[in-house]
Amino acid sequence: MKTRSRFVTVLIQRDGTTRTQTYRLRLRTLRLGLWLLSLIALLLLLLVAFYGPTLRAAARVPGMERELSRLRGENAKIRELSSALDSAESRYAQVRQMMGGEIVRDPLAIASSLPVAPPVKARLASSPAELSTGLGVPQYWPLDETGYVTRGQVKAGGRDEAHPGLDLAVSVGSLVRASGGAVVRQAGKDPEYGLFVLLDHPNQYQSMYGHLSRILVTASAAVAPGQVIGLTGNSGRSTAPHLHFEIRRGGLSLDPQTMVKESR
């Protein structure tokens, strides 16, 4: 028995006219079309669900690239500021050391009313001596630690105030050594030099060590080259911890940098 096809008739009439258009569709074809439309709609929904986030992320890429470029620029500035800060901290540490920020390494040396024996350098008996022995002209640097020359020699008669020696900025309590073998001519206190030691060397040479915090020798005592004679300080007419080092000959001041070696 042959199955009879079923149809669906669709009438379309426009407003304001009596004419109609008739479309006759096979029911099977209509159902197939509806299924195809449903499948396409489902595929579109799945496409939006799975690829929508990717599309949105792709749309944000240009903005993210601009933000990344901005952050890289800021990181470069931060690195520059960090480098400048490290440099400033290093300079601050140097200035703090020059101004005596570390004060004294051994608090007992300041608290005690008696002189405290300074540390000495030991060496093997078989090793050669670093310094000459006996009396000698000033020729050795008076400090073990690195000092900064904050003021040099200024002769009288110029526009600036006369300054007969070197000012060496160094922290309070640093060892001061004799620049050569000598006899202690004076050791005491002066309004200008503060606590000071004046040594007599051969050939009419003298060396002066001023602004000390402690004197470790007495007048008329013989001192060997490199012997500790005091500790640096900020006494007398001084605005910051330093050692005033002066060399004289026949009563005239000489520039110490022309005579002494910068290392012992």
Phi, psi of 30 (to 5 degrees): -60, -45
**Beta 205-215 vs 228-232: how paired, if at all?**
antiparallel
Which pLDDT tens digit goes with each residue over 189-236?
Answer: 998 899 999 999 999 999 999 999 999 999 999 999 999 999 999 898
- The yes or no reply on domain 109-116+133-258 and CATH 3.40.50.300 is no
Q: Any idea where the domains of the chain sit in the sequence?
A: 9-96, 109-116+133-258
Burial-class residue 143 by CB neighbours within 10 Å (0-12, 13-18, 19+): middle
> CA nearest 166: which of 150, 178, 184, 179?
150
pLDDT, position 261: 66
| Whole-prediction pTM | 0.51
pLDDT, position 228: 94
The answer to whether 145 and 169 have CB atoms below 8 angstroms apart is no
**Beta 194-200 vs 205-215: how paired, if at all?**
antiparallel
Around Cβ 216, how many Cβ atoms within 10 Å? 20
